[in-house]
Chains A and B, each alone.
Chain A
């Protein structure tokens, strides 16, 4: 069966520090991968998605970047965090375009 792993669950970082969040999917190949951010009490905002290795589409210009170094690995990064980067970050995948998304358990990021 397919599973998605996302870590860490909680992260507290100072302003100006770097960020690396990792997401991996097991039990499938060539998934579409997504990074979403959820601000407190808000809906989800799509940040990046990837349909294949090295293929990254950015939905919102910002302080973040994403990479897909392996088929089932998706990384969200920042060189210098801002206060506004705080939020709940969710990784998701789907085996087929226009299908349902399977979400990871999320990372609560607090930038202080």
Chain B
């Protein structure tokens, strides 16, 4: 069953704008991860945030985690056309990295 659910399903913005994607989940977690997938390719890990962390940064990425609301957000600042991809959140409940993925947000960044 789906643990993480991303919102929105699709997002279209202009270059230079910020993109925010949200993820909600149902059960307690060890950590939450965000991945990126270009069409027809494998997934690339972006950032991991542990259950005892509230915010994490990596370059133009900012991830927040609210365990009381069982939700997370991914912010991409100053988007570029190259950021066009699908973004997935994934939760690790087991501690064995048996990640449960959401359906993803398709991000389109237009030049």
How extensive is the interface on chain B, given as a class?
20 to 34
- Distance A70 CA – B33 CA, assembled complex (angstroms): 29
Contact of A100 with B2 in the complex, beta carbons under 8 Å: no
Q: How far is the CB of A31 from chain B (nearest CB, A)?
A: 10
CB contact list, B69-105 vs A, under 8 A: 88, 90, 92, 95-104
Instruction: Please tell me if A102 contacts chain B, counting CB pairs below 8 Å.
Output: yes
Q: Which of A6, A96, A101, A108 counts the most B-chain CB atoms under 10 A from its CB?
A: A101
Q: Which of B48, B97, B103 counts the most A-chain CB atoms under 10 A from its CB?
A: B97
Question: In the complex where A43-B2, A43-B102 touch, is A97 in contact with B43 (Cβ < 8 A)?
Answer: no
Q: Give chain B's interface residues, CB within 8 Å of chain A.
A: 2, 4, 30-31, 33, 35, 40-45, 48, 88, 90, 92, 95-104
